[in-house]
Amino acid sequence: QDETGGFLAFIPLEYQVGMTRLRPRHTPAMDDLKMIATARLMLDNIKYIKSYWVMLGEATASIGLNFGANDLDGTIGKERIAHAALADSPAGRARERMAWSIREARRIPVERDALYNEIKVYEY
């Protein structure tokens, strides 16, 4: 990673029990936030750490921005993977709602493309 910078981001994903036969146990929000903080400390050569709102929920994902994450991921038109595993977050998210969550964490919203090139910086 230090030589090539091959990974753009790390996404600590919460296990989704869904319809499996495994014991249904979601990780507590604090464990998810600790994972984000640990990733920020240990993965110093990966610039972007995500607080993936689809799996963490809007509130926890927003708090994750204060635990070391610097990306909530996108607005996503209609997310299918996590919802196939019965995620209870919205299937999509409006740009305004995303910006509001980022501002709630006292951060400045930035729209980006898939390669993290800035498209637009929103006013605080």
pLDDT at 86 over 70: no
pLDDT at position 9: 95
Task: State how far the Cα of 105 lies from the Cα of 8, in Å rounded to an integer.
Answer: 23
- Confirm whether 25 is domain-assigned: yes
* pLDDT number for residue 95: 79
**pLDDT above 80 for 124:** no
Tokens of 108: 């400045």
Is there a domain that residue 2 lies in? no
Neighbours of 58 (CB within 10 A): 18
- pLDDT tier at 58 (50, 70, 90 boundaries)? confident
pTM of the model: 0.80
Q: Is residue 3 part of a domain?
A: no
Domain annotation covers residue 98: yes
- Averaged pLDDT, 34-60: 93
How many domains does one find in the chain?
Answer: 1
- Whole-number Cα distances in Å, 99 to 43, 61, 80, 82, 111: 26, 13, 22, 22, 9
Domain span holding position 17: 9-121
87 in a domain, yes or no?
yes
Tokens of 17: 């029990």
Rounded to whole angstroms, how far apart are CA atoms 84 and 87? 7
* Residue 61 located in a structural domain: yes
Q: Which residues, in sequence order, are CB contacts of 123 under 8 Å at separation 6+? A: none
